[in-house]
């Protein structure tokens, strides 16, 4: 392997490029026009443009990625995670072009990428699976019948992909039809596959995954577990290793099952077997046939470089370590920092990072694909960085992570940093008393505790250089945890409440109309007057569906318009009863923040 193309963006692209440099492999970055000049393009030895901002026309375009690799003379492609990383057709296209695919064989991706097929293989291998059904009848009626047989509460899940996309929780029979429609629509948009299946919802379970690795020489190993129970809308928020819930006996049973699963499907390279843990019992959920976002916590507690090992195994070499050489040491915990506003139902944020400065603290690692001046686009996932703290014990690692988050300096967009700090401070979290419903119970309360208004910092001179995070001089500002401290500008993401205030739901972030439903006397960010009864877009977004037409009567809570931004669906709901006077947007249209979507009376 001499020259590798990174078919991704953001922090994982930067991470892969650094591994290439260490191994003496030339790196090639690809970028859409929205990412021109992004950190990953500057870090690589060469950068190639592949198309316009929509992922379907750039990062998800197999022909454009292959063409870029061929034009740059790449002999290997690393897909990172997300985008094409679990697409068997992409792995096949690489093989057909005589390009090394850094990942498993296409057959393994296809078998395990289908969550339905993966369930069948796990059961055949003697690995317990969550009770559920994989109906042959994929009509809405067929999925509803499967839910009826499985019983409520249930989860509707997409067979393809992961990351919580195409997944809906159903606890009320009246919501089944809408949940099926939403799950299928989201799965089709995210993965190009609307196939669904149903699982029994296991309350108060933990989400624990096992990192596995296999080479082409018959060696398959595990690298222990990661605890991923702190989730919001099935999207992981905080991950750690070791899991505070696993006994040595349960850990041994789960790791043995994970390695057996990898061998059953003749797996190669890095992968993850995900389980639900319910007391002493565990159930297979799915296999991710790629590197995971949370892989740094495994690297920190094992001292091993997973990305470097991926490149070596893809080049045909043996795994650089045996099972006997792999051990856990200390504790690592990771928090995902997103451009989103907890005070507005975790509404994704877009804009320019006027300030971005990562903390430099012993025992803290920050993986990021942004820099000061970066534009956070509506086209991609709003994750800004991963902050990972490592220490000799779990309490110290948690303390260290909280300190690092307070020192993280981001301005220009709101972030979830104050929310993350709130989680880390909870006694339930510190005691390890968490499960996958943890944030469903506590999330709204934690978000409500975040300070509503930040104290603006004085502007720095244009010639000012990077600020020392330990500098004690300066003005007093509001802290990310609601406290106060000296010497730093205001921390990442202090929430500003506004009239867009809303709540989170399983179907995406709910947002009220831009002015609470009436818009009297208000101006949009663009400066145009918003008339009475105007409903505005909370952020730049694509209009997926318009549910009303002029003359329709609507009641409070009705979904008027469904938007999509940053890989999330955003239903815009009526905050009062009324009659639609005019519709000012079109399906498929990209609208600006505060653009008038419709008017009512």
Assigned domain for 414 exists: yes
Asked if 541 and 571 count as a contact pair (C-beta separation under 8 A), the reply is no
3 state SS of 140: helix
Query: 56 with 167, same domain?
Result: no
Region class of 120: left (phi > 0), else alpha (psi between -120 and 50), else beta: alpha
Give the span between the Cα atoms of 183 and 173, in whole angstroms.
16
| 473, pLDDT greater than 50 | no
Kindly state whether residues 408 and 489 are assigned to the same domain. yes
> Is residue 387 over pLDDT 80?
yes
CATH number of residue 523's parent domain: 2.40.50.100
464 pLDDT higher than 70: no
> CA distances (Å), 405 to each of 425, 481, 546, 547, in order?
12, 10, 39, 41
Q: What number is the average pLDDT over the span 115-129? A: 89
pLDDT at residue 161 in the model: 66
In a shared domain, residues 433 and 411:
yes
Q: pTM of the full predicted structure?
A: 0.80
User: Would 584 be classed as within a structural domain?
Assistant: yes
Nearest residue to 241 (alpha-carbon basis) of 286, 206, 268, 210: 210
The verdict on residue 448 lying in a domain is: yes
Q: Are residues 487 and 522 in the same domain?
A: no
Which domain covers residue 544, as residue numbers? Answer: 511-600
Co-location of 40 and 94 in the same domain: yes
In a domain, 186, yes or no: yes
d(CA 550, CA 569): 24
Question: CB under 8 Å to 480, separation ≥6 — which residues?
Answer: 405, 406, 408, 417, 418, 421, 491, 492, 493, 494
Nearest one of 162, 115, 107, 128 to 291, comparing CA atoms: 162
Residues pairing with 366 in the sheet:
387
* CATH for 165: 3.30.1490.20
| pLDDT, tens only, 165-197 | 889 999 999 999 999 999 998 888 777 889 999
Q: Comparing 403 with 568, which gets the higher pLDDT? A: 403
- Distance, in Å, from the CA atom of 492 to the CA atom of 412, rounded to the nearest integer, reads 9
At 539, the pLDDT band (50, 70, 90 cuts) reads confident
160: confidence class by pLDDT, cuts 50, 70, 90: confident
Q: Is residue 213 part of a domain?
A: no
What is the pLDDT, as a whole number, of residue 564? 86
Pick the last residue of a domain from 155, 178, 200: 200
Q: What is the pLDDT of residue 532?
A: 52
Shared domain check, 537 and 490: no
- At 356, give phi and psi (nearest 5°): -145, 110
Domain end residue (candidates: 200, 226, 250): 200
- Position 443 pLDDT exceeds 60: yes
Is the omega angle on the peptide bond into residue 242 within 30 degrees of 0, that is, cis? yes
The total number of structural domains in the chain stands at 4
Check: CB of residue 500 under 8 Å from CB of residue 565: no
- H runs (alpha helix) in 151-247: 176-191
In 3D space, the residue among 151, 208, 154 whose CA is nearest the CA of residue 183 turns out to be: 154
How far, in Å, CA of 209 to CA of 226, rounded?
A: 5
Distance CA 265, CA 83 (A): 23
Please indicate whether residue 592 or residue 424 has the higher confidence score (pLDDT): 424
Overall residue count recorded for the chain in this entry: 601
pLDDT band at 512 (very low <50, low <70, confident <90, very high): very low
- Tell me the CA distances in angstroms from 374 to 20, 22, 136, 241, 413, one per residue in order: 24, 26, 46, 31, 11
CB atoms within 10 A of CB 387: 28
Task: Work out the pLDDT band at 518, boundaries 50, 70, 90.
Answer: very low
Q: Do both 516 and 549 map to the same domain?
A: yes
For position 570, what pLDDT does the model report? Answer: 87
First-to-last alpha carbon distance for the chain, in angstroms, is 65
Is residue 324 in a domain?
no
Q: Beta 220-232 vs 168-170: how paired, if at all?
A: unpaired
List Cβ neighbours of 218 (8 Å cut-off, separation of 6 or more): none
For 70-84, the pLDDT digits (tens) are 999 999 999 999 999
pLDDT band at 456 (very low <50, low <70, confident <90, very high): very low
Residue 517 confidence (pLDDT):
34
131 and 181 in contact (C-beta within 8 Å)?
no
Domain membership of residue 270 (yes or no) is no
Q: CA of 545: how far to CAs of 49, 347, 370, 517, in Å?
A: 31, 19, 32, 19
Looking at the fold, whether 351 and 445 belong to one and the same domain comes out as yes
User: For the domain that residue 64 is a member of, what is the CATH number?
Assistant: 3.40.50.20
As to burial, measured by CB atoms within 10 angstroms (0-12 exposed, 13-18 middle, 19+ buried), residue 391 is: buried
Q: What is the mean pLDDT of residues 9-26?
A: 97
Same domain, 439 and 526: no
Among 62, 86, 102, residue at a domain's last position: 102
Q: 46 versus 480: which is more confidently predicted?
A: 46
Helix (H, G, I), strand (E, B) or coil at 583: strand
Percent of the chain with pLDDT over 70: 86
What is the mean pLDDT of the segment spanning 434-462?
Answer: 70
Domain identity same for 435 and 544: no
Does one domain contain both 517 and 578? yes
Per the prediction, the chain carries an average pLDDT of 86
* pLDDT tens by residue, 480-490: 333 333 333 33
Q: Are 400 and 485 found together in one domain?
A: yes
Residue 192 lies in a domain: yes
Residues 322, 314: Cα–Cα separation, whole Å: 17
At residue 576 the predicted structure's pLDDT band, cuts being 50, 70 and 90, is confident
CATH number of residue 430's parent domain? 3.30.470.20
| Confidence (pLDDT) at 43 | 97
């Amino acid at each position: 392997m001499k020259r590798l193309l990174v078919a991704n963006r953001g922090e994982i692209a930067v991470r892969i490029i650094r591994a290439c440099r260490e191994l003496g492999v030339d790196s090639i970055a690809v970028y859409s026009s929205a990412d021109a000049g992004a950190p990953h393009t500057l870090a690589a030895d060469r950068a190639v443009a592949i198309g316009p901002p929509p992922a379907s026309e750039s990062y998800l375009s197999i022909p454009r990625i292959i063409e870029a690799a061929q034009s740059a003379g790449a002999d290997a492609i690393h897909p990172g995670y997300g985008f094409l990383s679990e697409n068997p057709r992409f792995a096949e296209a690489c093989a057909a072009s005589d390009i090394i695919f850094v990942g498993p064989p296409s057959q393994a991706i296809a078998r395990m990428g289908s969550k339905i097929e993966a369930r069948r293989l796990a059961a055949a291998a003697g690995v317990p699976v969550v009770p559920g059904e994989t109906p042959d009848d994929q009509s809405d009626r067929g999925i509803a019948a499967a839910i009826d047989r499985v019983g409520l509460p249930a989860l509707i899940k997409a067979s393809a992909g992961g990351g919580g996309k195409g997944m809906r929780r159903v606890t009320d029979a009246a919501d089944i039809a809408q949940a099926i429609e939403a799950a299928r629509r989201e799965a089709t948009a995210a993965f190009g596959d609307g196939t669904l299946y149903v699982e029994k919802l296991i309350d108060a379970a933990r989400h624990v995954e096992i990192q596995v690795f296999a080479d082409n020489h018959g060696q398959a190993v595990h690298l222990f577990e990661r605890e991923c129970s702190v989730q919001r809308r099935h999207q992981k928020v905080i991950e750690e290793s070791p899991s505070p819930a696993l006994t040595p006996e349960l850990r041994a049973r789960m790791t043995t099952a994970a390695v057996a699963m990898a061998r059953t499907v003749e797996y190669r390279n890095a992968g993850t077997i995900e389980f639900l843990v319910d007391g002493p019992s565990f159930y297979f959920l799915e296999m991710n046939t790629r590197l995971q976002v949370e892989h740094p916590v495994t690297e920190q507690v094992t001292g091993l470089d997973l990305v470097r090992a991926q490149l070596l195994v893809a080049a045909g070499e043996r795994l650089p370590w045996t099972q006997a050489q792999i051990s856990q040491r200390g504790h690592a915990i990771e928090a995902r920092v997103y451009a989103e506003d907890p005070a507005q139902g975790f509404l994704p944020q877009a804009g320019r990072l006027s300030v971005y400065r990562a903390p430099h603290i012993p025992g803290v690692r920050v993986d990021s694909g942004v820099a000061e001046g970066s534009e956070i686009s509506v086209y991609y996932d709003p994750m800004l960085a991963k902050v990972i703290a490592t220490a000799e014990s779990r309490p110290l690692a948690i303390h260290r992570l909280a300190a690092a988050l307070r020192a993280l300096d981001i301005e220009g967009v709101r972030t979830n940093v104050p929310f993350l700090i709130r989680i880390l401070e909870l006694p339930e979290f510190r005691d390890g008393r968490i499960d996958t419903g943890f944030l469903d119970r506590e999330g709204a309360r934690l978000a409500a505790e975040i300070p509503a208004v930040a104290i603006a910092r004085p502007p720095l001179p244009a010639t000012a250089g990077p600020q020392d995070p330990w500098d004690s001089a300066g003005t007093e500002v509001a802290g990310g945890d609601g406290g106060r401290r000296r010497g730093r500008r205001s921390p990442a993401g202090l929430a500003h409440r506004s009239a867009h205030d809303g709540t989170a739901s399983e179907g995406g972030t709910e947002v009220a109309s831009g002015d609470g439903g009436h818009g009297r006397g208000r101006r949009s960010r663009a400066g145009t007057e918003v008339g009475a009864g105007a409903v505005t877009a909370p952020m730049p977004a694509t209009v997926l569906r318009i549910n009303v037409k002029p003359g329709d009567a609507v009641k409070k809570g009705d979904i008027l318009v469904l938007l999509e931004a940053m890989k999330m669906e955003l239903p815009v709901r009526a905050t009062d009863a009324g009659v639609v006077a005019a519709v000012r947007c079109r399906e498929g249209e990209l609208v600006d923040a505060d653009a008038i979507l419709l008017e009512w009376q």
